[in-house]
Amino acid sequence: MTRLTRRSMLQSAMALPLAASAFAADTPQKPSGRIRQSVCRWCYQKIPLEQLCEFAAHNGLVGIDLLEVPEFEIPRRYGLICTMGYAGGGTIASALNRTENHAAIEAAFRTNIPLAAKAGVPNVITFSGTRKGMSDEEGARNTIAGLNRVKKIAEDNGVTICLELLNSKVNHPDYMADHTAWGVRVVDEVASPRVKLLYDIYHMQIMEGDLIATITANIHALGHFHTGGVPGRHEIDGTQEITYPAVMRAIAATGYTGYVAHEFLPTGDPFTQLREAIDICNV
């Protein structure tokens, strides 16, 4: 999602005093490390970033996802990293599938990917853009061309550009990169170890289902994961339809060594539900 869209979906239940109480006096078990977990910043906008980092470190997370360039260094104060950053890779509506956007994206990446590398940020996000009447074939060709322009920047800096897969059925009508096969075709043709897909489990459950088989068959092209409960993008517990422990075991079984970032909107105490999600994915 774009930053604006994410912020517009925040829930009023995320009150800071309540959230702060969730980890004041306990010592939770650390995750095993088979799945390296982080958390998306936008879901916790009412909580100061420093406090979110403190909670993350206390509960065995390795980082904070989706930070702006000026925020890249903040997680390091807590022994964490920014697991994915914004670096000027366009927006959901307007990005790589239109050639007129390529120069601006390239310029932003030339500036910001070196800053990500300096701050230890392993991934930056980008998007396809919406169709607006464009065929998926033309959009794929344009996206491949755009990624070919910037892949050497990523390779030279050891940072991975991740193209996000989103659903066009519920949240992002007309978004082009809405199926795994389209994204894998793009990544395979770019043929760079530093260009991958951001596989959002919530979005792909809505569009395709068949999560475990799809992830297993295409893990070579997947550079990052996001979680979220279906329906509603809320907590990932037994109230929704995805069996997250099974999905996490399947990801771990592939030998995947990247990050899984929690990207759900809590309906109750945010830190309590985030800690439950950490436990669910600690396989």
User: How far, in Å, CA of 184 to CA of 176, rounded?
Assistant: 13
User: How far, in Å, CA of 55 to CA of 58, rounded?
Assistant: 5
The pLDDT score that the predictor gives to residue 26 is 65
Q: DSSP label at 13?
A: T
* Maximal CA-CA distance, the chain: 56
Contact partners, residue 157, CB within 8 Å, separation at least 6: 113, 114, 116, 117
3-280: in CATH 3.40.50.1950: no
Query: For residue range 139-168, what is the model confidence (pLDDT) as tens digits?
Result: 999 999 999 999 999 999 999 999 999 999
Q: Is the pLDDT of residue 183 over 60?
A: yes
User: How far, in Å, CA of 107 to CA of 36, rounded?
Assistant: 31
What pTM value is reported for the model? 0.91
User: How far, in Å, CA of 115 to CA of 102, rounded?
Assistant: 20
What residue has token string 């980890």? 23
Query: For residue range 33-75, what is the model confidence (pLDDT) as tens digits?
Result: 799 999 999 999 999 999 999 999 999 999 999 999 999 999 9
What residue has token string 């790589």? 96
Report domain extents, the chain: 3-280
Q: Are strands 81-85 and 36-40 parallel, antiparallel or unpaired?
A: unpaired
At residue 77, the 3 state secondary structure works out as helix
User: How far, in Å, CA of 9 to CA of 30, rounded?
Assistant: 30
Nearest residue to 271 via CA among 7, 1, 47: 47
User: How far, in Å, CA of 161 to CA of 90, rounded?
Assistant: 12
